[in-house]
Amino acid sequence: MDKKYVMAIDQGTTGTRVILFNRNGEIHSMAYREIQQIYPKPGWVEHKPLEYWDTTMECIKSLKKRQCFTSGNCGYRGNKSKRNNCIME
């Protein structure tokens, strides 16, 4: 069965965006959630790691709630981040 949409997940500095593209590469729908910015020192920014997961799931649930896609008609799901992340205790 051909999939109708491709899902992309963009983890940015200020938030998470989930975008559904149709077969023509056009944006079908999108959801965005901000993440908390923590500034421990000038020029530094930190985030709570679980907030990446939580905001991703919120975006996906939002798109499903609006009936933008189903698990059966959405193909490849990709994740994009423009920076290296490190989780430290």
Write out pLDDT tens, residues 3-24: 788 888 888 889 999 999 988 9
Structure tokens at 21: 């593209």
Was domain 5-78 assigned CATH 3.30.465.10?
no
Write out pLDDT tens, residues 58-82: 999 999 888 878 777 777 666 666 5
CA atoms within 13 A on the CB side of 36: 8
Give the Cβ contact number of residue 68 at 10 Å.
Answer: 19
Is 41 or 45 the better-scoring residue by pLDDT?
A: 41
Domain ranges across the chain: 5-78
DSSP, res 72: G
